Structure 1
Amino acid sequence: MEFGSVVQFLEDKTILIMGATGFLAKILLEKILRVQPKVKKIYLLLRAADAKSASQRLQNEIGQHHK
């Protein structure tokens, strides 16, 4: 599969990334957003004790790189 066809394949797709705060997931997320900004939705799954700590972990691990 060529790179162009991968980019076209991702357009208007819904994607689930498990382990979203892990090293590879961060790279995958960045790459998807950089090469195909027309992704329909991206769901990020991460472990935490409750919703508040999950949100805080997401901001600490991924949000800081977006500033």
Structure 2
Amino acid sequence: MELGSSIQFLENKTLLVTGATGFLAKIFVEKILRVQPNVKKLYLLLRAADTNSALQRFNSEVSRERK
């Protein structure tokens, strides 16, 4: 499969990424957003005790938001 056809394949698709705080998932998400920003939806699944801790974990480990 060529890179161009892979990029076109992802256009307007909905993707689910499990283990979103893992090393490979972070690279995968970054690559998708860089080469094909027209992904319809990108769901990131991560484990946490509750919603607040999940959001905090996402901000600290995936988006690298620093306080």
Q: Which residue of 2 aligns with 1:18?
A: 18
Q: Moved runs in structure 1, 4+ residues, more than 3 A?
A: none
Structure 2: gaps spanning 5 or more residues: none
User: If the length of structure 2 is used for normalisation, what is the TM-score?
Assistant: 0.94
Question: For the residues of structure 2 that align with 1:37 and 1:3, how far apart are their CA atoms?
Answer: 15
Distance 1:22 1:64 in 2: 13
Q: CA deviation at 1:43?
A: 0.1
| Number of residue-to-residue matches in the alignment | 65
Matched residues in 1 for 2:19 and 2:2: separation? 27
Taking only aligned residues, the RMSD between alpha carbons, in angstroms, comes to 0.9
Residue identity opposite 2:43 in structure 1: Y
**Secondary structure of 2:64's aligned partner:** helix
Structure 1 unaligned regions, length at least 5: none
Superposed, 1:24-39 pairs within 5 Å as: 24-39=24-39
